[in-house]
Structure 1
Amino acid sequence: MATVSFEDQTTGGTWVNVASTTLSEGGFVTIHDASLLEGAVFDSVVGVSEALEAGDHEGVVVDLFEGVPGADFDREMVDDGETLIAMPHFDSNDNGTYDFLTSEGEEDGPYVDEEGEPVVDDAVVSVDHDEMDDESMATVSFEDQHGDGRTVTVAEATLSEGGFVTIHDASLLEGEVFDSVVGVSEALEPGSVEDLDVRLFCNVPGAEFDRKTVDDGETLVAMPHFDSNDNGTYDFLTSEGEEDGPYVDEEGEPVVDDANIRVC
């Protein structure tokens, strides 16, 4: 069985955030445009998640118009106010690749409900062009380092509008946008900062942790965020992504840098 929750949202137009999904056998979450409702089962696919393990997932980020095996696209982003549809799929051949299109539907079919209909949820996606404005930009430099496993140092960050630098564990790379957050800096003024210390596994609004230190050799990811409501508190988790979103680059992707952490 599978469930999926896909909520109305605002993004840079090249990705969407699936709020939650449960896949009993693992697989993928695909994103379709509205032509699915007209029967375009294959041509409607505009994005597919990374391969997901069996179980529950939250905050699954799916890139659009790229990385879909068997699909060709003539556009690079969604239209403002466009309706998209999220649909969980099996990985029926257990190869970690979405083969539904390349197999013409023979492999990796959709999860279905009790009536035999595909499990789906739709959302209206608004495009915030201001997030991609050249005047709103950020950079971050996060270098390999040794430490006590409880604090990391971001070498340098520039946030044109101020905000925060968050630290994520490697589950971010598997689409865990919310659960991957393991640390957040103090509120930062617009401009540049060097040698920014960020404590881990504490004082992250909306997060709960079952460990106190990173593992030796673990990869962490630094990501600058806006303080979109100007309240000095990191509200990305507590608002389920509605507030304090990440700075994005020219392609609408979050600005990030990763580092290997050795624990002394």
Structure 2
Amino acid sequence: MSEKNYLRAATGRRTALRTIGGAIAFGVGLGSVGSAAAVHEESHQENYADIKFNPQRTTGESVRVARYEPKGDGFITIHTWDLIEEQNGSDTICGVSGLFEPGEYSNVEVQLFDDGTGYSPAFGDRERLEEDQPLVAVPHRDRNDNGSFDFVTEENPAHADIPFTNGTQVRDDLPVDGATNDWADVKVVSDNRNDGTSED
């Protein structure tokens, strides 16, 4: 499967991962994003998101976010633990949700390694999680209001959908200071529906 297929979005789909190969952390281009504030000013209220990501069992094809409450339009990205260990925001994306309008949502399913919603080409042709591991859920604002997920790249810093920075912050060591997030241990099983069930 080609890199183009990883990044494609079907016509009419509201979500797509728009990124390029190479290791690009959350922080790349954020200075340019800040300089664009006069064009697209962000209020404190719109930049708030609450998220709860519980330990769970999954077949490896998706995970569930227990609670998501964005105050502005946005997405949920799911990252491998290399987001923390390598401070790499782009190459660690293994799942992207659809677009959510402001509101309260529960038991949200996010597909992993899905061509339609997008994931990093660094994962090759992987189709599912292959082993137990911790994952990180990070809400992102639809900052340019185009209904598609646009990650920070060197080419599009002023149009990228950067993380919410007000709200739940379980980890304080993400590439973007103050990025809203939660993490969970995820156990891969062969014959269990993914219901977001907490592990004891």
TM-score (ref. length: structure 1): 0.50
Match of residue 71 from structure 1: none
In the alignment, residue 262 of structure 1 is paired with which amino acid?
K
The SS at the match of 2:24 is strand
Residues 44, 166 of structure 2: 8 Å contact kept: no
- Are positions 1:182 and 2:94 aligned together? yes
- Are positions 1:194 and 2:109 aligned together? no
The SS at the match of 2:83 is helix
- Which has the larger displacement, 233-242 or 163-172? 233-242
The SS at the match of 1:183 is strand
Match of residue 142 from structure 1: 53
Q: Which has the larger radius of gyration?
A: 1
Residues 45, 71 of structure 2: 8 Å contact kept: no
Unaligned stretches of 5+ in structure 1?
1-55, 63-80, 82-122
CA distance in 2, matches of 1:182, 1:240: 21
Match of residue 169 from structure 1: 80
Residues 218, 261 of structure 1: 8 Å contact kept: yes
Deviation at 1:134, TM superposition (A): 3.9
Deviation at 1:124, TM superposition (A): 9.8
- Are positions 1:243 and 2:138 aligned together? no
Q: CA RMSD in A?
A: 3.0
The SS at the match of 2:72 is coil
CA distance in 1, matches of 2:162, 2:111: 20
- Check 1:124–1:202 CA distance in 2 against 1; reply closer, same or farther (3 A cut): closer
Match of residue 59 from structure 1: 25
Runs of 4+ in 1 over 6 A off after TM superposition: none
- Are positions 1:231 and 2:141 aligned together? no
- Are positions 1:153 and 2:153 aligned together? no
Match of residue 19 from structure 1: none
Deviation at 1:127, TM superposition (A): 8.4
Deviation at 1:58, TM superposition (A): 2.8
Deviation at 1:235, TM superposition (A): 1.3
Residues 224, 247 of structure 1: 8 Å contact kept: yes
Residues 61, 111 of structure 2: 8 Å contact kept: yes
Residues 132, 248 of structure 1: 8 Å contact kept: no
Q: Residue deviations 1:217-256, cap 9 Å, x none?
A: 2111001111112221111157655421110137951100
The SS at the match of 1:172 is helix
Specify which structure has the higher proportion of strand: 1
Corresponding pairs, count = 150
- Check 1:187–1:261 CA distance in 2 against 1; reply closer, same or farther (3 A cut): same
Q: 1 or 2 for the larger relative contact order (CA 8 Å, sep ≥6)?
A: 2
TM-score (ref. length: structure 2): 0.64
In the alignment, residue 163 of structure 1 is paired with which amino acid?
G
- Check 1:187–1:124 CA distance in 2 against 1; reply closer, same or farther (3 A cut): closer
Deviation at 1:128, TM superposition (A): 4.9
Unaligned stretches of 5+ in structure 2?
1-21, 170-176, 190-200
